[in-house]
Structure 1
Amino acid sequence: MAKTKSVYSCTECGATSPKWAGQCPGCSGWNTLVETVAEQGTGAHRFASLAGTAQVQTLADIRPRDEPRLATGLEEFDRVLGGGLVPGGVVLIGGDPGIGKSTLLLQALAQLASRVSTLYITGEESGEQVALRAQRLALDPSGLQLLAEINLEKIGAVLSDTRPRVVVVDSIQTVYSEQLTSAPGSVAQVRECAAQLTRAAKQAGHSLILVGHVTKEGTLAGPRVLEHIVDTVLYFEGETSSSFRLIRAFKNRYGAVNELGVFAMTERGLRGVSNPSAMFLSHHGQPVSGSCVMVTQEGTRPLLVEIQALVDSAHGNPRRLTVGLDAARLAMLLAVLHRHAGVVCADQDVFVNAVGGVKIGEPAGDLAVLLAIVSSLKNRPLPQKLVAFGEVGLAGEIRPAPRGQERLREAAKLGFTHALIPKANAPKQKIEGLTIIPVERIEEAFAKLRELE
């Protein structure tokens, strides 16, 4: 028997090399080459028409069709998708093991099965295991078709025969093609199977949802080209010790990115959280120092998040630790605080945390972080029912945040009475029940706070 030849494939770009190297020759990524079985021939021709072929025509002559979206019945899931599933659209959803991906999709398909034909393809579980989950979640199994198969050619035949409207493949790493000799989950298999399933979805017009594994770094396993092939990339996040789950859109050709859906894990499965701000706010019995509430924007949704800071005397080298915020930005804010407000933290340990496990990726949380730090340092609680947001520049100025009106309305809806915001975000019309405190610089912000005390 001839010896099997192996090559090294890049997990980022898919380039191959006859021998291992620390740096990929294609994309220059480090430590991305993994050993795979060399395939006979090339499958490049299979990628030629993922979106279909057509004659050359001018863009003005094309009349796009307004395809109606298919709502899944899970409001938070539909929000992240941009309103629902798109016919012919391909969604890739990834997350840690046990986070609830299969539970979420089974709930969605069970609701869709009463309106359209659906097919759940499971490669990791048997049919009995899926039936047990549906029974535990008290789902109606009638109308929901199930296929326990990992062979791509057999899956394609079933899709051609049944012609479902919505298809879920759980997971893409378990599917393999007989045309390739490498094992399921390899770079070549994942790339080829995803491309074949995507082309089938585009041609037949059914909505396809692929479940993907994630690496220990939290990124989707397999070649990076997998994320380019699909139309939408979703990440399912959350601590396994917490009952709350977050789903984010990082790519969406049919809707906005950075949308956030919030779910609560219950005995009956995942339930959407209608007021997610409540989960990110701590309920203190009395005012405490080092706590400030900010309004962050996740896609089109404003969220109120509590920022907590603890400043204590350092024993040795001062430490700066953040959870849910950028550590490098904290160091910059401390320097601005020293230079323009005269508050020294050089000999203090500074710990900053965003309550609830949310990650603040926008600079609009700068002002709330500084207020929480000064409150902890001086051991003086901030005024109750105070909310703050705004970006802090290196010159000490407070810059406006986008969608300021929506942030303020969300704060007023939840009962906050005072808002410390950038002057450029001050509303032209008064918001009932909310006193606006516009400021332009951080020293002015601290002066306004002293007037409130």
Structure 2
Amino acid sequence: MAKTKTQYVCQNCGYISPRYLGRCPECGAWNQMVEEVATAPQVKAFNQVTGTVAKPQKLTDVNITKEPRVKTKLGEFNRVLGGGVVLGSLVLIGGDPGIGKSTLLLQVSGQLQATGGKVLYVSGEESASQIKLRADRLNVSGDNLYIYPENDMGNIKQTIDEIKPDFLVIDSIQTMNEPSLNSVVGSVSQVREITAELMRIAKSKQVTTFIVGHVTKEGNIAGPKILEHMVDTVLYFEGDMHHTYRILRSVKNRFGSTNEIGIFEMQGDGLIEVANPSEVFLEERLQNANGSAVVVSMEGTRPILVEIQSLITPTLFGNAKRTASGLDYNRVSLIMAVLEKRANLMLQNQDAYLKATGGVKLNEPAIDLAMAVSIASSYKDMGVLPTDCFIGEIGLTGEVRRVNRIEQRVKEAAKLGFKRAFVPKNNLSRWEPPKDIEVVGVKTLAQTLKLVF
């Protein structure tokens, strides 16, 4: 009888070691090595991407066909996916517990079955009666929607062969169990093998598959990184459980842009898409409040107006404190250093607290100018005109550098009633600004502050 071989696998990154290690040498995590039975890799005779036997062919002989898509009634969901659900794709959705992942997928399942396709909703966390109660609350029903509370992959594959669904939902991947593996449910080897099996089903049988993934306390999808590498699309469902707004963000998409976001509002009867998020982010803004500036940020192909708030107060201790919410901490420190050096603002003995309102995360160069004006407004205790908005990147020498898609940004600001937009002067060439908004071209940060205050 052959001796059983064991190995130790890191549950955080998937690193394999022949012996136990207290600290993973790959990711540095402590106490994550779990003993598992080593199994020989299964060799597949077909290509995992196409589901057929792969053959080399000339690039000029490859036929290009546009991937077929199915549109749901949630326009924001379609936008994030790049224009609709791609048939035969594998989509991973991650998010904090209770954020609304199951609610979103149950709504999408109801809309997909209304198009005539069969949907198999597999849940390893809830019973059929629990899912039925949620479906009644969301007004989801239909003869083409099948609920299957099961976590055994053998039974799930058999059911897929019997029902032959067009769409498959796995809620969640960490609760599924592959009986052929001698490891605990949710381990690295289980998640890796189940994801590979789901990918083979999606590609070979053209079953569009949605996978729900748990997240760690750091905000990353639990399990090995190979989980995100194998799927076609990775979406993060973000938001605060104490607020009603949710943001669906694309971080990987083989069929569309990775910069798109969709905004939803959680209500009693489910998720409602927010068609104009700029109004949502600005509706509670105080008039003539100091420490406030509005930026026109691009999220994918959509311009969004977001208020950046700053609170600058004298520090009570030796080292000044810097805090940022929704903004990059290093970018905040950089802008404050430029303000001190190029605009003569004494900020080294000031505590700074900055926030992007609405729960949105801003991380693009065009927010620099609005951030600097917001900090200067709070420091000087002088308000900014509520009809002003700011667009521009700031260099270390204090210059205001050009940004992309300036026409779309200014048009969005004019549509929402803003009367003046401060933009980089180099962006004023080769386009005609709208007549209902004054566009002010600035070259330096110091010049901008003189015009504003």
TM-score by length of structure 1 reads 0.94
**How far apart, CA to CA, are the structure 1 residues paired with 2:42 and 2:363?**
38
Could you tell me which residue of structure 2 aligns to residue 255 of structure 1?
256
Does the aligned pair in 1 maintain the 2:11–2:33 contact within 8 Å?
no
Alignment of 1:439 with 2:446, yes or no, is no
Offset from partner CA, 1:20-60 (integer Å, 9 cap, x none):
335545xx321177333423532353597321331111111
Question: Is the contact made by 2:4 and 2:37 (CA closer than 8 Å) also made in structure 1?
Answer: no
Mean Cα deviation higher: 315-324 or 200-209: 315-324
Partner SS, residue 38 of structure 1? strand
- CA distance in 2 between partners of 1:285 and 1:332 (Å): 27
Point out where structure 2 has 5 or more consecutive residues left out of the alignment. Answer: none
Q: Which position in structure 1 is the counterpart of 2:47?
A: 49
Distance 1:345 1:48, change over 3 A: farther
> What's the offset of the Cα at 1:5?
7.0
Matches within 5 A, 1:2-401: 7-11=7-11, 13-21=13-21, 24=24, 28-31=26-29, 34-45=32-43, 49-51=47-49, 52=51, 53-115=53-115, 116-284=117-285, 286-316=287-317, 317-401=319-403
Q: Displacement of 1:88 after TM fit? A: 1.3
Please, which moves more after superposition, 280-289 or 373-382? 280-289
Deviations 1:305-362 (A, max 9, x none): 0001111111112211111111122121111111111111111111111111111111
- SS for the counterpart of 2:441 is strand
Q: Structure 1: which 5+ runs fail to align?
A: none
Q: 1:187 to 1:419 in 2, by over 3 A?
A: same
Aligned mates of 1:48, 1:400 — CA distance in 2: 50
The one-letter amino acid paired with 1:432 is K
Residue identity matched to 2:446: E
Q: Check if 1:419 corresponds to 2:421.
A: yes
Aligned-residue Cα RMSD (Å) equals 1.9
Following TM superposition, by how much is the alpha carbon of 1:221 offset from its aligned partner in structure 2, in angstroms?
Answer: 0.4
Which deviates more, 247-256 or 144-153?
Answer: 144-153
Q: CA deviation at 1:398?
A: 0.8
Alignment partners' CA distance in 2, 1:298 and 1:415: 20
Q: Aligned partners of 1:67, 1:341: CA distance in 2, in Å?
A: 52
In structure 2, C-alpha distance between the alignment counterparts of 1:447 and 1:88, rounded to whole Å:
57
More moved, 52-61 vs 226-235: 52-61
Query: In the TM superposition, what is the alpha-carbon distance from 1:6 to its structure 2 partner?
Result: 5.1
Partner Cα separation in structure 2 for residue 176 and residue 118 of structure 1: 21
Distance 1:59 1:33, change over 3 A: farther
Q: Is the 8 A contact 1:294 1:388 kept in 2?
A: yes
Q: Secondary structure at the match of 1:45?
A: coil
Q: Answer yes or no: is the 8 Å Cα contact 1:264–1:273 preserved in 2.
A: yes
**Matches of 2:4 and 2:387 in 1, distance apart?**
68
CA contact (8 A) 1:124 1:171 kept: yes
In 2, the alpha carbon distance for the partners of 1:13 and 1:315 equals 42
Paired letter, 2:113: A
1:339/1:165 CA distance change after superposition, 3 Å: same
Change beyond 3 A, Cα 1:431–1:22: farther
Distance 1:137 1:449 in 2: 49
Q: How far apart, in 1, do the equivalents of 2:22 and 2:370 lie?
A: 43
Quick one: distance in 2 between partners of 1:22 and 1:409? 57
2:89·2:209 contact (CA, 8 Å) conserved in 1? yes
Native 8 Å contact 1:22 1:30 kept in 2 = no
CA apart distance, 1:65: 1.9
Q: Determine the C-alpha separation between the residues in 2 that align with 1:294 and 1:19.
A: 53
Is the CA contact 2:46–2:54 (under 8 Å) kept in the aligned structure 1?
no
Q: Distance in 2 between matches of 1:290 and 1:38?
A: 55
For 2:167 and 2:382, how far apart are their aligned partners in 1? 56
Residues paired across the two proteins, number: 447
CA distance in 2, matches of 1:184, 1:409: 52
- Cα shift at 1:94: 0.4
Q: Quote the Cα distance in structure 1 between the aligned partners of 2:440 and 2:267.
A: 41
Q: Secondary structure at the match of 2:65?
A: coil
What residue identity is the alignment partner of 1:338?
E
Write the distance in 2 (CA, Å) between the matches of 1:392 and 1:373. 14
Matching residue's letter, 1:295 = V
| Greater mean alpha carbon deviation, residues 54-63 or residues 39-48 | 39-48
Aligned-residue identity in percent? 43
Q: Is the 8 A contact 1:6 1:36 kept in 2?
A: no
